[in-house]
Each structure stands twice: as C-alpha cells, then as structure tokens.
Amino acid sequence: MKKYILLIAMVLLFVSCGTSSTPDPTKEKTVKSAKKESLEAIDFTLTGLDGEQYTLSDYRGQVVIIDFWATFCPPCRDEIPHFIDFHTRYKDEGLIILGIGLDREEKLAPFSKSMGINYPILIDDRKTSSAYGVKSIPTTFILDREGEIVKKFVGFSPGLEKEMEKEILPLLKREKGIE
C-alpha cells in the first residue's frame, strides 16, 4: 500500500513540475487590455522574504520576470542560477525578477539563502498563482515596460534560458512608451 502511495505522489510531482514548453500567452485566459489585443498582467501585492510588500504595478517602466516556483521542483532549481545571472547583468538596465515561491516561508528562506538568490522572493498567497493560471511549475512570465505579458514559459530545460534572454534583451533596449 505504501508503495502505491509513493508511486502516486511521484507521478503527481512530475506532472506538476514540468521540463519545457512555451505555450503562446495569447491562448491563456488572462485579463486582456482594453487598449490592445495584448495581455495585461494581473496586479498583485505579496510579502517578500524580507518582510516588505511588493506590488507588481510599482514596477511599471521596468521589464519584469515573474517566476512561479517551488523548492521541491528540480526544473525550478535548475533555472534559478540563470535568474541570478540575469539579475546581476541586467538590473541596471531596468530588469526586475520577482520569484514567487509556492512553499511556506520556513522552506523558502533557507533555500533562497543556500542558492544565493539575489532578487526578491515573494510568498504566494494561492490567489496570485491561481489568477495567473499556474498549473505546472516553473511557470515564468516576461512583462514589457507597460506591464503587458509578452511571453510565458512553462517548465524549464537546459537552453531555455537563452530563449528567455532573447525575449528580454529587446524589451530592455526599448524605452518606456517607445516602440
């Protein structure tokens, strides 16, 4: 009986912890902007591991990566070093990374410290991940300077970080309001 429970738990882990795919964000049910056919990111306010409140709309004018992840997810752990590198290289050009951890603070804090995460880690309230339609982790959204979702990545596998970087570089070069 214990073997079957363990087997079911492992299957659920692998189903919810994806490796790589990049669905078209226009097919996701997210709030649409009234002005355009693009997708406006849903605003949220979450508490960070540092005790501060983080509100997504406060980062308008910057390129934002929102990453939903968990400590138990191998692909999530694999992508974190790339986000650390992106933050180091591009923060002065207007990139902000918001990691939204699906674990409890007691797990997130020591894990984040051990990984050397240098960007804000926020604690999911379950409403935010639900509003973004997160069904598998990691799920990563890239937002332009106007707060619109330009790309969604579900899962992670080696090499996907290059595709993410290809998405953010032109957005970083584009000034707010200039196409």
The set of catalytic residues is 76
Pairing of strands 148-154, 39-40: antiparallel
Q: What is the DSSP letter of 138?
A: S
Q: How far apart are the C-alpha atoms of 154 and 135, rounded to whole Å?
A: 9
Cα angle, residue 92 at apex, residues 156 and 64 outer, rounded to 5°: 40
Gyration radius (Cα) of the chain, Å: 16
Q: Which residues of 26-64 are buried (b: 16+ CB within 10 A; e: fewer)?
A: eeeebeeeeeeeebbbbebebebbeeeebebeebeebbb
- Which residue blocks in the chain are alpha helix, DSSP H? 2-16, 74-90, 105-115, 127-131, 160-173
Q: Are 102 and 124 in contact (CB under 8 A)?
A: yes
Cα angle, residue 129 at apex, residues 127 and 135 outer, rounded to 5°: 130
